[in-house]
Amino acid sequence: MHSIEIPSKQQIVEIPSDWDECSPAQVEFILELAFEVMAGSRSLADFRIKIFSKLTGLKFGFMYFLRNRLGLNNAVNERIYQLSQELCNWIFVENEDENLELQYNTITNNFPVLLENYYGPDQLISDMTLMEFKNSITLLDQYYEAKDQEEEAELLLNYFIATIYRPKNERGERRSLHNYIIEPEIFTKVPTWKKQVIAIWFSFCIKCLQEEDLDIYGIDVNLSILFPQTATSSNNTQRVNLGWTGVLMDIAESGVFGDATSTGQTLLYDVLLFLLKKHQDQPKTP
């Protein structure tokens, strides 16, 4: 958190410095405006001022607007601008092409429910099955590859969302993807920016599984050894299937989790821990 001291009111205001410090409502507010910036309909400076005002609770009353019309708020406006640029600069980064890129780096699913009855994966996709994961990354890669073709990209994005967001069963769990009829047209009602954010979040979760130190079932693990070819080039930064083909083929061929149906319904984390142990148990090369 950033802290702003207001001596005249003997008050300290705290403002989030990353996504995990924001409330779900703040996250949604920020992201909706962020996509306006990326669409070119809002300037970065105006975006940061709006976000700064929202996160600090700053409100502009009648006297502010009156003084503004008289040109008496220059010092105040300059200070607001300066603080907003300094404290709200964590949302976007410049990529290699010097274009703005949304930096949505969080493992928390800030949109756990869509359209009231469709539930998405838990934090760091911890409740996904192997079948669900395999289908999802295939659709997501196809979506990224088709991004220049608007209609096809939107259709693939809806298929991706319909695959990972499903109603709950009588046990309060998301319905199994096995024998589930995917209905992508339902998700045309969800704003495109929100579906794109979910795709970005999902991609970041995969990156974390491939590269970061993790706590899975209370065990500290690093799965990067399973993905020796995941070094991404600038041409593949959006592909999520890099390195996963061999991993999924390995588990399918082993039969350790039963037939194809049983294997597909096994939790992804269980599969990854099994493969990690299998790798660690291999004799070390002298």
Task: Spell out the long-range contacts of 55-59 with Cβ–Cβ below 8 A and sequence spacing 24 or more.
Answer: 55/15, 55/16, 55/22, 55/26, 55/88, 56/4, 56/13, 56/15, 57/13
Render 248-268 in DSSP notation, one character per residue: HHHHHHH-TT-SHHHHHTSBH
Give average pLDDT by consecutive 10-residue segment, the chain, 286 residues: 67 85 93 92 90 79 62 68 81 82 93 95 93 91 90 94 94 88 94 96 93 90 77 46 61 71 84 85 67
- Amino acid 206: pLDDT: 92
Task: Spell out the long-range contacts of 87-94 with Cβ–Cβ below 8 A and sequence spacing 24 or more.
Answer: 87/2, 87/4, 87/15, 87/17, 87/52, 88/47, 88/48, 88/51, 88/52, 88/55, 89/48, 90/17, 90/18, 91/30, 91/34, 91/51, 92/34, 92/37, 92/44
- Amino acid 60: pLDDT: 63
Number of neighbouring beta carbons within 10 Å of residue 205: 21
Question: CB within 8 A of 4, min separation 6: which ones?
Answer: 12, 13, 14, 15, 56, 83, 87
- Amino acid 61: pLDDT: 62
Can you tell me the distance from the alpha carbon of 83 to that of 61, in angstroms, rounded to the nearest whole number?
A: 20
Can you tell me the distance from the alpha carbon of 31 to that of 103, in angstroms, rounded to the nearest whole number?
A: 10
pLDDT in tens, 142-154: 999 988 888 999 9
Indicate the domain borders of the chain: 2-102, 113-281
Give pTM, 2 decimals.
Answer: 0.83
227 touches 243 (CB < 8 A)? yes
- Amino acid 5: pLDDT: 67
